[in-house]
Structure 1
Amino acid sequence: MPIIKPISDLRNNFNYISEVCHTEGEPVFITKNGHEDLVVMSHALYEKQQAIIELYQKLAEAEKESSDPNVQRVDHTDLMKSLRSRVHGGKTSD
């Protein structure tokens, strides 16, 4: 359930808002004159959300790249043989 507080709580009870952000691990929605105005969250939650956004961006990029018909593909078995050959100095062992 979202945590919604008036802007006066941010001004008058900042420590309480900070504590709620940290203990609940959820953002606090701040209203002004009864309407949504701000969202306050802990730094840890912010960093977590940024990491998720970055991951989704990378996944979207990889998905786009993998659907490109002009990209040369290498069979998994062939790739592993090549890597093993490099690691073992030209010798392959299957």
Structure 2
Amino acid sequence: MPQIRPITDLRNTNEISEICHKSKEPVFITKNGYGDMVVMSMETYERKMALVEVYNKLSKAEAELANGTSLKDGEKVFKRLREKHGR
């Protein structure tokens, strides 16, 4: 469950860092009772960005299907890749 902390908690950077790494979730920072920033570990950031990339690729693939783009045979594609890379 994401944590919401006031901006004054940023004075204790070690505690915020520990929370980010242990929870593996972003920490939401408020200022005067309103959302202001999000802090997260590098690991969490990279994981989130990888998901964004996957979703973007899926969205692009769905758009291509909707536009009638022809599909390739998956088995043929993987066979060519194996032959090319020797696996």
TM-score bin, normalised by smaller chain: 0.7 to 0.9
User: Do the aligned partners of residues 47 and 34 (structure 1) sit closer, same or farther apart at CA in structure 2, a change above 3 Å counting?
Assistant: same
Unaligned runs of 5+ in 2: none
Deviation at 1:43, TM superposition (A): 0.6
Unaligned 5+ runs, structure 1? 88-94
Seen in structure 2, the aligned counterparts of structure 1 residues 73 and 21 have a Cα distance that, compared at 3 Å, is: closer
Between Structure 1 and Structure 2, the one with more helix by share is 2
Higher Cα Rg: structure 1 or 2? Answer: 1
TM-score (norm 1): 0.71
Report sequence identity in percent.
50
**Residue correspondence of structure 1 range 1-94 to structure 2 within 5 A:** 1-10=1-10, 12-69=11-68, 71-73=69-71, 76=73, 80=76
Normalising by structure 2, we get a TM-score of 0.76
Instruction: Output the aligned Cα RMSD.
Output: 2.1
Alignment coverage as a number of residue pairs: 78
Could you list the runs of 4 or more consecutive aligned residues of structure 1 that deviate by over 4 angstroms after TM superposition? none
